[in-house]
Amino acid sequence: MTPDGDTAAGTVDEEPRFSTWTGTARGWMLRRLPPDKLLPEDQPSYVASWIYVFGMGAIAALVYIIVSGCILALNGPAWYHVSGLGHFINSTHLWSVELFFMFMVIHLWGKYWMAAWRGGRVLTWITGVIAFVVSIVTAFTGYLLQTNFDSQWIAFQAKDALNAVGVGAWFNVTNLGQILMWHITLLPLAVAGVVALHVVLVRMHGVVPPLDAAATDAQLQQDLPQRASVEGEHL
Amino acid sequence: MSKNTDPMSWRMRNDIAGRPWRGRAREYDLFKELTVGVMVVGLLVLGLSAVFSSPDDPSVTLKSWATAAPADFVATATAELGGTSKTAGYGPPYNATPDASQKLGPIDLQSFSGVRIPIDTANDFVISPLQSLPSSPSAVSDWKAGTDKQHVDWAAAYTDALSKAPDNDPAKVGPGDYGPVPALTGTLLGMAQQGALDGVLQAKDSFYSTDYTRSTLFLGDGTYFPGLADTAHLTGDQWGMMNETGNYPGQSWLWLFSFVYQVQPIKSSPNADILVVSIMAVLTLLLTLVPFIPGLRSLPRRIPIHRLIWKDYYRRR
């Protein structure tokens, strides 16, 4: 067995060769996402607009959704009806969700007008849309768990659309236990997984350059990336 | 514009969009941005929560319904007995009522799942709960002894009489051939007003239950529960899908879903739900596949909002 990292002499690109599955996987990952791409210390000069803040804002809001959701989970879905602290935590859960969607929608529109799928970034776009759709379903199940008048009515109304497409028995909005499982296990796993994949893809491909960027542009007149102070908004 | 030269293409090519950036760079600190982002969003979340709190209107129970609107409760229980309620005629997954399912042309997805949550409204909502009483009323035996036609006739006659009574008050109904229906619905009303029906309908002879399907459907068959929703601007024709009780933003991201329900002929179609879900599925697919759709993917070039986003870059070209 060749130890990980052994370099086979005579290879054209002088990349390490691995004989184990683990080593091959590591090599594949390192080629696509080297540490300086995963955790960069610089960005292209064009990454200078407030629009870039909203993707990170959505992730920050997701952090609060998860934290407040964990506290609510520890106390059960009816806790917030009878506890002042519980009601406040419920409020933070609600408002972090509202901010999450607001940031995500601005981020989505921004990326659309930047045509951010260009240059092999199509999977980044697709995972972003999937994250948006899965988040909508997750938020919907949260509204069903309020165990109050609103959730009762949403369940009564929403059953028709789900029954009409034949999934009402497995996604039974009037079955609190079933919806609780969707909301606190299945769907958060899906959201976290898709968002993580989306972020990794962003780091792998980098931020899409401006439309009409040409090799004759002043900012492309250098062969190697180097830091330069750029006026304008900081991220 | 051919695939190979279209600057809006999603394809990985050896051009500026496809290659790693080789131009000027600016300092960037990912962890610092994340930290600042988490702090700013945290302040926003705490501030919004402290100022606006969150809505929590108490749920409706069968007890509160029977107490606040006894006439509606009795009329609904009568419809459940006669098989004329919305639930009784719903079709899958609750029952096999013919031609009740929604269809998209020849496609009937609603029937595809079959009757997965069987509900017999007369037995599940009225007779079985009454049988759970310590002394089951004799009207239950009378009902069971009746034929299907008698059941329908008794319930229809009583429904008609209730609708003609002053205030639809069961106590003011004139004499008629209603069989055991008045006794059954009257006893069920008393049971609900005491709070016994909520537990019985939900648990159905079991200690554990997290399933509120029967209680929710029974509530929804009346006019009291939808009336409360109407007052709270939550019904479908009030864009209720994206609304929340009180003055809260609710699920505003469902605006398009809610909008499609307001458009004719979908609005008045018996297949509205399957039509709306199908339209939304197609639109979601289009959004996902925007990079592959020539007209849609070219819009950002025709409407140059990117000039604003990258104004710094364009100024320094």
Partner-chain contact A174 B216, CB within 8 Å:
yes
* Residue-wise pLDDT tens digits, A201-217: 999 999 999 998 888 88
For residue A226, tell me if it sits in a domain: no
Task: Check whether residue A128 and residue A100 sit in a common domain.
Answer: no
Domain boundary among the residues A73, A94, A114 is at A114
DSSP letter at B57? P
Average pLDDT, chain A: 88
Nearest to B301 among A158, A211, A213 (CB): A211
For residue A198, tell me if it sits in a domain: yes
Task: Check whether residue A95 and residue A126 sit in a common domain.
Answer: no
Assigned token pair, A202: 């962003």
Domain that holds residue A67: 49-114
Nearest to A45 among B23, B254, B284 (CB): B23
Task: Check whether residue A59 and residue A104 sit in a common domain.
Answer: yes
Let me know if A32 is exposed, middle or buried by CB neighbors in 10 A (0-12, 13-18, 19+): middle
What residues of A are in contact with residue B34 (Cβ under 8 Å)? 56, 59-60
Q: Which long-range contacts (CB under 8 A, 24 or more apart) does B314-317 make?
A: B314/A210, B316/A45, B316/A218, B316/A219, B317/A217, B317/A218, B317/A219
pLDDT at B237: 84
pTM for this prediction: 0.90
What residues of B are in contact with residue A107 (Cβ under 8 Å)? none
B210 interfacial to chain A (CB closer than 8 Å): yes
For residue A234, tell me if it sits in a domain: no
* Residue-wise pLDDT tens digits, A133-144: 999 999 999 999
Q: What ipTM, to 2 d.p.? A: 0.92
pLDDT at residue A67 is higher than 90: yes
Task: Check whether residue A108 and residue A123 sit in a common domain.
Answer: no
Task: Check whether residue A107 and residue A129 sit in a common domain.
Answer: no
CA angle, B57 as apex, B51 and B63 as ends, to 5°? 165
Task: Check whether residue A110 and residue A122 sit in a common domain.
Answer: no
Q: Nearest to residue B224, comparing CAs of B71, B69, B7?
A: B69
Partner-chain contact A99 B48, CB within 8 Å:
yes
Domain boundary among the residues A114, A137, A155 is at A114
| Residue B13: strand pairing partners | none
pLDDT at residue A45 is higher than 70: yes
For residue A14, tell me if it sits in a domain: no
What residues of B are in contact with residue A166 (Cβ under 8 Å)? 92, 109-113
For residue A106, tell me if it sits in a domain: yes
pLDDT at A145: 95
Q: Which of A52, A83, A118, A174 to mutate to test the interface with B (most CBs of B within 10 A)?
A: A118
* Residue-wise pLDDT tens digits, B156-214: 999 999 999 999 999 999 899 999 999 999 999 999 999 999 989 887 777 888 899 99
For residue A3, tell me if it sits in a domain: no
Band (A25; pLDDT cuts 50, 70, 90): very high
Structural domain tally of chain A? 2
For residue A60, tell me if it sits in a domain: yes
Nearest to B310 among A161, A167, A210 (CB): A210
Partner-chain contact A99 B41, CB within 8 Å:
yes
Q: By 3-state DSSP, what share of chain B in percent is helix, strand and coil, each rounded to 5?
A: 55, 0, 40
pLDDT at residue A167 is higher than 90: yes
* Residue-wise pLDDT tens digits, B232-281: 999 888 888 888 898 898 999 999 999 999 999 998 999 999 999 999 99
Band (A222; pLDDT cuts 50, 70, 90): low
Task: Check whether residue A149 and residue A88 sit in a common domain.
Answer: no
Task: Check whether residue A82 and residue A161 sit in a common domain.
Answer: no
What residues of B are in contact with residue A88 (Cβ under 8 Å)? 49-50, 53
Beta strands in chain B (DSSP E): 24-27
Task: Check whether residue A91 and residue A155 sit in a common domain.
Answer: no
Task: Check whether residue A139 and residue A178 sit in a common domain.
Answer: yes
A133 interfacial to chain B (CB closer than 8 Å): yes
* Residue-wise pLDDT tens digits, A71-101: 999 999 899 999 999 999 999 999 999 999 9
* pLDDT over 90 percentage in chain B: 73
Domain boundary among the residues A59, A82, A114 is at A114
A226, A64 contact by CB (below 8 A):
no
Task: Check whether residue A104 and residue A173 sit in a common domain.
Answer: no
B24-27 and A42-44 beta bridge pairing: antiparallel
Task: Check whether residue A102 and residue A170 sit in a common domain.
Answer: no
For residue A179, tell me if it sits in a domain: yes
What residues of B are in contact with residue A151 (Cβ under 8 Å)? 59
Nearest to A126 among B17, B34, B288 (CB): B288
A 7-36: CB under 8 A from B: none
